[in-house]
Amino acid sequence: MIGIFDSGVGGMTVARAIERVCPGYPLLYFGDIARTPYGSKSPETIREYSRRNTDFLLSHGATIIVIACNSAASTATDALRSEYDVPVLDVITPATLKAAAATRNNRIGIIGTRATVRSEIYRERIESIHPGCTVISQACPLLVPLVEEGWLNRRETKMILRRYLHPLKLQQIDTLVLGCTHYPLLGKLIQPRIGKRVQLIDSSVEVARYLKEYLDKNKDINNKLKKENPTSRFFVSDSTGPVRKLADRIFGRNIHLEKVNA
Amino acid sequence: MIGIFDSGVGGMTVARAIERVCPGYPLLYFGDIARTPYGSKSPETIREYSRRNTDFLLSHGATIIVIACNSAASTATDALRSEYDVPVLDVITPATLKAAAATRNNRIGIIGTRATVRSEIYRERIESIHPGCTVISQACPLLVPLVEEGWLNRRETKMILRRYLHPLKLQQIDTLVLGCTHYPLLGKLIQPRIGKRVQLIDSSVEVARYLKEYLDKNKDINNKLKKENPTSRFFVSDSTGPVRKLADRIFGRNIHLEKVNA
């Protein structure tokens, strides 16, 4: 199965994108709702939780791991790659590759949580791929709570988005990376407010495309996955009403969340 | 010293209220920013963190403990009282006593985080003091992020408040408990939106008054505290820009936060 983990429910946008881009593969999701958010925790703790999540996914049949959490991707990817004998993909790398390839005026915007922006991970990656680039970051700490409340089309959300995006607009970016797995749910509100000429890079879609390329190249894993029963499973370490609603909203259908003490 | 702990910086409104109501006493604050929020954690974990926080405060000279965190107050108060040989006050009890005494039409509103409202702790306490009361709760999950961003007088905050308070207004409450330590910062916005006839009960102020009564009655502790050097100290387990700004804003002056690995 394709194992995916996140600190919460936002990573389900990655699972949904993988379902669309790589249809027919069985997904195994783990959302660590009980310990969310990872962004405010120490690197050691984030690595420890990431190991536990990986162990959980492997013990339930995963043969490839996708880190759908930005904090875990920036902090734990190297550790997991060196410690585990399975392929480990992360949600950050594909989006930075895509952004560096897409920009024409070499001005790229990044929006993310305060933790992601402070880590400078997107900026460092993009500048290492494309040294001539100017990367402008904007922390948008209210967007995750707004999405988690399901306020996806409210006037307040639109006003707050306009306020966050305005500085990026002034900087004349032509490419904007949605550097948080919750943000694709706001894509339709973001596009008109940042301007229709700005290309949005959805990190969830990019990691799904990257996975597809990976599977096309690695026939062994691909064949193994294709032989499996294509029933996906979604595990969470805690389950509340808003979490279940958000999961259903992301998939556009009823998602059965299995609660585990992980 | 008067030891005060919270999962974050919100509990500083309790410290500030104690400073006003009981001037001249030395305060010792610990904000567990690295592990915030407690509300989404299991009761065992909240109790474990509360013990650690109490140990920290006692080892730095506290002789009385005030639990300024709603999640810890509802989950860990009994454990701390039975395990430690110092007085333990909690932020919930005084506000519920005050609300039960203040209401005239027996309709009390409670606003708090989703975790606090789900715990039903305010409702249970008020109904046990005043069985004829109707308690109407409203979770306001966006208010903490708005306060933490410092959006205390923005149009978006006012709109969101109006939306949250509207159902309580329809229920014709005459008393509203601010059941979260962040909310006193929004008191001036809340009063006109809930109506000037509704009495606001500020849990931070109520616990400070309760502490004053306690000290008036317990001369031993009082005399000991009065002999101490009245310099307050503020410790946090993590320190970020928004946290420092919020601390300064709560006190209306520059607050020196000492970061510790606790």
Tens of pLDDT, residues B34-69: 888 887 777 888 999 999 999 999 999 999 999 999
Best mutation target, A44, A158, A160, A259, to test chain B (most B CBs within 10 A): A160
Taking the Cβ of residue B153 and every Cβ of chain A, the question of whether any pair is shorter than 8 Å is answered with: no
Helix and strand tally (H, E) in chain B? Answer: 12, 10
Whose CA is closest to B125, among B194, B21, B201, B64? Answer: B201
Closest CB to B156: pick one of A160, A238, A242. A160
Closest CB to A149: pick one of B42, B141, B148. B141
Are the C-beta atoms of residues A158 and A190 closer than 8 Å to each other? no
Residue B221 tokens read as 């502790």
Q: How are the residues of chain B apportioned to helix, strand and coil, as percentages rounded to the nearest 5?
A: 55, 15, 30
ipTM here = 0.81
What is the reported pLDDT for B149? 87
Sheet holding A2-6, edge to edge: A88-90, A64-67, A2-6, A27-31, A233-236, A257-259
What is the reported pLDDT for B27? 97
Are the C-beta atoms of residues B79 and B47 closer than 8 Å to each other? yes
Give the mean pLDDT of B131-147.
Answer: 94
Contact state of B36 with A40 under an 8 Å Cβ cutoff: yes
pLDDT truncated to tens, each residue of chain A (262 aa)? 999 999 989 999 999 999 999 999 999 999 998 888 888 777 888 999 999 999 999 999 999 999 999 999 999 999 999 999 999 999 999 999 999 999 999 999 999 998 899 889 999 999 999 999 999 999 999 999 899 888 999 999 999 999 999 999 999 999 999 999 999 999 999 999 999 999 999 999 999 999 999 999 999 999 999 999 889 999 999 888 888 999 999 999 999 999 998 6
Q: Is the link from the previous residue into A184 a cis peptide, with omega within 30 of 0? A: no
What is the reported pLDDT for A114? 85
| 8-state DSSP, A229 | -
Are the C-beta atoms of residues B139 and B165 closer than 8 Å to each other? no
What's the one-letter identity of residue A246? L
What's the one-letter identity of residue B219? K
Give the mean pLDDT of B158-169.
Answer: 97
Sheet holding A175-178, edge to edge: A134-139, A107-112, A175-178, A199-202
Whose CA is closest to A7, among A42, A59, A46? Answer: A46
Closest CB to B141: pick one of A41, A145, A155. A145
pTM, 2 dp: 0.86
What is the reported pLDDT for A39? 80
> Maximum CA pair distance of chain B?
51
The CATH number of domain B93-203, selected from 3.40.50.1860, 3.40.50.460, 3.30.300.130, 3.40.50.300:
3.40.50.1860
pLDDT over 80 (residue B163): yes
CATH 3.40.50.1860 region(s) of chain A? 2-90+205-259, 93-203
Residue B258, classed as helix, strand or coil, is strand
* Residues A260, A262, B5, B8, CA torsion sign: negative
* Interacting residues of A112 by C-beta distance below 8 A, sequence separation 6+: A70, A122, A137, A139, A140, A179, A180
Taking the Cβ of residue A159 and every Cβ of chain B, the question of whether any pair is shorter than 8 Å is answered with: yes
Confidence at B91, pLDDT banded by 50, 70, 90: very high
Share of chain B above pLDDT 90, in %: 86
The label of the residue with tokens 């149009």 reads B155
Tell me which H or E stretch contains A202.
strand A199-202
Whose CA is closest to B36, among B234, B240, B179? Answer: B240
Residues of A catalogued as catalytic:
69, 180
CATH class of A2-90+205-259: alpha beta
pLDDT over 90 (residue B261): no
What is the reported pLDDT for B241? 82
Taking the C-alpha atoms of residue B109 and residue B172, their distance in angstroms, rounded to an integer, is 9
Whose CA is closest to A22, among A185, A218, A190? Answer: A218
Contacts 24+ apart (CB under 8 A), B125-128: B125/B92, B125/B93, B125/B96, B126/B96, B126/B99, B126/B100
CB burial string A217-235: b at 16+ within 10 A, e below: eeeebbeebeeeeeebebb
Q: Give me chain B's average pLDDT, please.
A: 94
Which residue on chain A is closest to B239 by alpha carbon?
A: A40
